[in-house]
Amino acid sequence: MFWASFCFAQAYSTTDTTFFDKDWKPTSRANYEYYRTVRQSPNTMPPLKLLKIEDHYKDGIIQMDGYVLTEDTSKEMGLYRWYKKDGGIISARLFDYHKSIRYFNSVEAYLNKAEPCDSANVDLRVMFRKGKVLQIGFIPTGNIYDTCFCKTTCVFKQYNMFNQNLWETWEYKNGIKEGWYKFYSDGVLRKQKFYKNGQKTGIKMKYDYHGKLKKVKGLPKE
């Protein structure tokens, strides 16, 4: 998906359409492979007003949808979703999570997979595989290209795509590993390691198949 802010340099009373070639460069209707529609959205985030953006493949199948502010079209806001050609969802991102969540409550269906995050100025990002949550976490609010989970704040979680059991969790602070890394097998905690300032501390714990602690390494001796 190619992001072009120049597509918004006009007022939208109905629906406006821009055509793109295979490389997402603006082109004529005779040569397009993708197209984008922009219209005033009935959704609002009072006192903010939103424009609804939809990118489509040539055959009309949706590729992405999302929102920008009417008064500042460089500012992404609310829920963005990216799709495969078969209609399956690839990923979703809720920009400015704490401000947007009350207006885009469909995201609440995924929140039971996420760890709560009180940090200000974060976006909720979700990756899917075959319609199931694969990865979920909070990243700093940024532009639409800035998607790396490596900048996670709070807790990043990864799930088994087949049975949806928790697989791994990482604790972060301002994009740096800070706290516990945990590995699960069939949803049962099997091992964990502690990080400080992005570095391993040597503190490790191992658990048996039932989640019972069986080995500890690296803790200071009393």
Domain count for the chain, please give it.
1
Confidence at 9, pLDDT banded by 50, 70, 90: very low
For the segment 27-49, the average pLDDT, to the nearest whole number, is 91
| CA nearest neighbour of 94 among 133, 138, 54 | 138
Q: Chain-wide mean pLDDT for the chain?
A: 89
Q: For the beta carbon of residue 165, count every other beta carbon within 10 angstroms.
A: 12
Which residue range forms the structural domain that includes residue 117?
13-164
Considering the domain boundaries, does residue 53 fall inside one? yes
Query: In this predicted model, what pLDDT tens digit does every residue of 162-177 receive, in sequence order?
Result: 899 999 999 998 889 9
The Cα–Cα gap between 192 and 209 comes to 14
Considering the domain boundaries, does residue 155 fall inside one? yes
Report pLDDT for 3: 46
8 Å CB contact between 184 and 170:
no
Query: In this predicted model, what pLDDT tens digit does every residue of 89-116 receive, in sequence order?
Result: 999 999 999 999 999 988 988 888 999 9
Own/partner long-range contacts of 106-112 (Cβ < 8 Å, ≥24 apart): 106/79, 107/79, 110/136
Report pLDDT for 11: 46
pLDDT at 6 over 70: no
What letter does residue 141 receive in the DSSP assignment? S
Beta bridge partners of 187: none
Half-sphere exposure of 92 (CA within 13 A, CB side): 22
Considering the domain boundaries, does residue 66 fall inside one? yes
Considering the domain boundaries, does residue 174 fall inside one? no
Considering the domain boundaries, does residue 67 fall inside one? yes
Query: For the whole model, what pTM was predicted?
Result: 0.85
Amino acid identity, residue 153?
T
The Cα–Cα gap between 119 and 27 comes to 42
| CA nearest neighbour of 140 among 172, 110, 107, 181 | 172
The Cα–Cα gap between 157 and 173 comes to 14
Considering the domain boundaries, does residue 7 fall inside one? no
Residue matched to tokens 């529609």: 37
Percent of the chain whose predicted confidence (pLDDT) is above 70: 92
Residue matched to tokens 């928790």: 166
Report pLDDT for 19: 96
The Cα–Cα gap between 94 and 66 comes to 9
SS3 assignment, position 97: helix
The Cα–Cα gap between 12 and 49 comes to 12
8 Å CB contact between 134 and 158:
yes
Bridge-based pairing of strands 48-57 and 62-69 is antiparallel
